């Protein structure tokens, strides 16, 4: 084989290897950027969902504290949010959300309390059914941040 052919084939092989390395690097970069974007979007969706649940559950718990359940349709929004948590949340988060929903239902059917009971700091555990839910959410979102 002529030295010119060897030289030309070596140049072509080097170019091909360089091109394949460039394609592989570009693909890996785009793949990791896409994955990072999806993770950020997933975390943002969960944050919004859990915030919505906390707002709705807080409103209903406050209402249940002083009123009876005169219209079961009040619970529909909370029920819908819990089902969204079933789609996107971790099992521990779902378990706590269901516990909060059950607690709100129990509160609606319990004797009504005076709003002044909120002032008694010794019963803060009874008055904060969302504490465990918030803790589980914080743990889940911290894992999603990594």
3-state SS track over 21-46: HHHHHHHHHHHHHHHHHHHHHHHHHH
Answer yes or no: is pLDDT of 5 > 90. Answer: no
Phi/psi at 48 (nearest 5 deg)?
A: -65, -40
Percentage with pLDDT > 90 across the chain: 34
pTM recorded for the entire structure = 0.74
Nearest to 49 by CA among 87, 8, 102: 87
Alpha-carbon span 140 to 122, nearest angstrom:
29
Nearest to 65 by CA among 128, 131, 133: 128
Please give the pLDDT value at position 55: 95
Average pLDDT, the chain: 85
pLDDT in tens, 16-39: 888 888 888 888 888 888 988 888
- For the beta carbon of residue 13, count every other beta carbon within 10 angstroms: 10
Nearest to 85 by CA among 135, 59, 47: 47
User: If you average pLDDT over residues 113-137, what whole number do you get?
Assistant: 72
- For the beta carbon of residue 41, count every other beta carbon within 10 angstroms: 10
Phi/psi at 89 (nearest 5 deg)?
A: -90, 165
Least confident interval from 29-38, 45-54, 72-81, 123-132: 123-132
Alpha-carbon span 95 to 82, nearest angstrom:
10
Please give the pLDDT value at position 72: 87
Domain boundaries, the chain: 41-145
Alpha-carbon span 16 to 66, nearest angstrom:
75
Least confident interval from 66-80, 109-123, 128-142: 109-123
Please give the pLDDT value at position 121: 45
């Amino acid at each position: 084989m002529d030295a010119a052919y060897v030289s030309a084939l070596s140049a072509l092989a080097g170019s091909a290897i360089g091109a394949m390395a460039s394609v592989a690097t570009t693909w890996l970069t785009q793949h990791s950027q896409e994955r990072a974007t999806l993770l950020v979007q997933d975390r943002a969706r969960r944050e919004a969902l859990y915030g919505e649940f906390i707002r709705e559950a807080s409103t209903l718990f406050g209402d249940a504290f002083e009123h009876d359940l005169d219209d079961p349709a009040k619970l529909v929004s909370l029920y819908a949010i819990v089902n969204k948590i079933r789609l996107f949340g971790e099992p521990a988060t779902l378990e706590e959300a269901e516990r909060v929903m059950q607690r709100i239902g129990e509160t609606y059917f319990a004797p009504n309390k005076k709003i002044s009971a909120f002032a008694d700091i010794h019963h803060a555990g009874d008055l904060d059914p969302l504490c465990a839910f918030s803790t589980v959410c914080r743990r889940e979102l911290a894992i999603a941040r990594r």
